[in-house]
Amino acid sequence: MLKKNMSSIVIVLLILLIMGMMYQLQMESVKNSGREIGIIDEEEKAEEKPVDLKMVVIGEAYPDSPKVMEEVNKLLEETIGAHLEMRYIHPKEMALTYPRLFAGGADFDMIQVLPMGYLDYVSKKAYMNLTEDMIVKTMPKTFEEMGDGLLKALEVKERLYMIPSTGFLNNHKVIVLRGDLLGEVGLTQVMTLEDLESYLKGVTNQELPLVPFDFGGDALLALEMFYLQEKEKVLYDDYLMYLGANEIGVSWLVDEAGLDDYRMRMEEWKKLGFIKGDSYLRSQSEEILFIKGEVAAIITSVYRAENLVRYLHLEKPEYAPHIVTLNQKANFFTQASQMGIAVKNGSVNAAKSLEFIELLRYNEKLFRLLNYGVLDDHYAINGNGEYIPLTNSVRYPIYNIPVWFMSNEFALGYRFRINGIAPFATENPYEIKIVQDYNPKAHNLYKKKTQTLLFPALIGELYSKNPLKTYKEELMDEDFGIYIEQLLGDD
């Protein structure tokens, strides 16, 4: 019995020895071939699948957005092994939806920085800190181009939270009005502010079933159109700080004597019935209301105006729409601090997200797909390298998501209906200043006071100098003055 047991043990040992030798031979074979064992092979196959990237942008999807994104994803899969899924926030919904994305733990990897709201979300740790090592490894071209310049200028306490655009797209505000109504009110064109008032007065007096002028959901549109652009100033942030093109120094609009003149004009327009008191609370896009025939004039950016007019020529030719600049120079551009892409803090796809941003900056095909659509379907290119809109351009308009314009290297020329308007700036037209000692409490107070007191006054609502004086003193007591002092610097 003992001999039988011993024989069994020997057999087992021999089997184990043989299996060990076979395993060793297999491992030697793997080492010599440069391959890993089968289990890891399966992981490698899984890694070959495109990484799903999710991005949030400010804008809206158009009928041919899926067609364009299909081409975009073919390119991304071939170049960086990624697949991009989009989520759009309509500008009308931005104030409510944008902060909820972070508060509610929404699933995304990249997001367009909130225009004029960079510091707010940096203070809330919403955006990921992009270290130099991360950028060097995933965005070598971007680092070489901007590492010692613009990226440094946008740091907050020596940390960077966004990759900015260096395209500086024209963002000048213009008026779109109904050309078919001009004749009815005894005009042939609108060139000046006085002409515009005559147009609005004529529409009002005829008691037509439409609002003469809609400012949209943002009092800043009217402020830019009728005050800042008139004085060749541009908003720096949503705290009503402003600066001039190619000028040094930032000022606070609340300190401007001319603000009262502007406010009085808006009050007069309100009394005359040109604007509605609740126009800044509208839930629908002013462009949609214009298309539906509910308003006679709106304010929008110059590219959106061009896209709207193209659509109306096809769908509502009887409107005979006009774009009006009021003889302003139309040379106001997006700032680097207002247009860029951030990675969500906590994203597991940060490296691949940065690779995508780099590709957007330096890949001609990707840049043109996202900014212009499909060549020979949505647009053509003439012999001068200019964008020529085709009929389907209304299904995917030029620059419908401005953040895609991350540089002007592959940008096409563009001829506006009004001569002399530059499509973009060739270099940063504004001084970049970022506050380092940021006080969220003071800025939250500012926003609360501004939304309830100042913005309504900017479009003709009840207004008194005394509340504004108290409001300013309260802000200074809450250290808002530190923000202003840092922006002004030693200038």
The DSSP string of 205-241 is: HTT-SSBSBB-TT-HHHHHIIIIITTTTEEE-STTSE
Q: What is the pLDDT of residue 465?
A: 65
Is the pLDDT at 177 greater than 60? The verdict is: yes
- How many angstroms separate the CA atoms of 361 and 409, rounded? 8
Cβ atoms of residues 266 and 459 within 8 Å: yes
Q: What is the pLDDT of residue 281?
A: 47
C-alpha pair distances (Å), 99 with each of 38, 111, 124: 46, 12, 10
Range name among 21-25, 45-49, 238-242, 474-478 with the lowest pLDDT average: 21-25
Domains delineated in the chain: 47-167+336-390+397-404 (3.40.190.10), 440-488 (no CATH)
Angle at 228 between CA 224 and CA 230, to 5 degrees: 105
Q: What is the pLDDT of residue 19?
A: 42
Q: What is the pLDDT of residue 247?
A: 59
**Average pLDDT score over residue span 397-410:** 96
Q: What is the pLDDT of residue 272?
A: 93
Q: What is the pLDDT of residue 277?
A: 60
- How many angstroms separate the CA atoms of 475 and 445, rounded? 7
Q: What is the pLDDT of residue 246?
A: 55
Is the pLDDT at 36 greater than 70? The verdict is: no
Q: What is the pLDDT of residue 29?
A: 36
Q: What is the pLDDT of residue 409?
A: 95
- Residue, of 73 and 439, whose pLDDT is higher: 73
Q: What is the pLDDT of residue 275?
A: 87
Token code pair at residue 363: 């890949």
Q: What is the pLDDT of residue 52?
A: 98
Q: What is the pLDDT of residue 245?
A: 57
> Please, what is the average pLDDT of the chain?
85
- Residue 10 — very low, low, confident or very high, per pLDDT cuts 50/70/90? very low
Q: What is the pLDDT of residue 12?
A: 40
**Average pLDDT score over residue span 220-246:** 84
- Residue 406 — very low, low, confident or very high, per pLDDT cuts 50/70/90? very high
Q: How do residues 274-328 score in pLDDT, each as one tens digit?
A: 987 655 445 567 888 999 999 999 999 999 999 999 999 999 999 999 999 999 9
Q: What is the pLDDT of residue 471?
A: 81
Q: How do residues 116-137 score in pLDDT, each as one tens digit?
A: 889 999 999 999 999 999 999 9
- Coil, strand or helix at 129: coil
Cβ atoms of residues 164 and 147 within 8 Å: no
- Residue, of 468 and 184, whose pLDDT is higher: 184
> How many percent of the chain have pLDDT more than 90?
55
Q: What is the pLDDT of residue 256?
A: 82
Cβ atoms of residues 280 and 219 within 8 Å: yes
Is the pLDDT at 363 greater than 70? The verdict is: yes
> How many percent of the chain have pLDDT more than 70?
86
Q: Which candidate, 270, 262, 274, places its Cα nearest to that of 230?
A: 262
Q: What is the pLDDT of residue 26?
A: 35
Q: Are strands 173-177 and 82-89 parallel, antiparallel or unpaired?
A: unpaired
Q: How do residues 52-89 score in pLDDT, each as one tens digit?
A: 999 999 999 999 999 999 999 999 999 999 999 999 99
- Residue 443 — very low, low, confident or very high, per pLDDT cuts 50/70/90? confident
Q: What is the pLDDT of residue 463?
A: 60
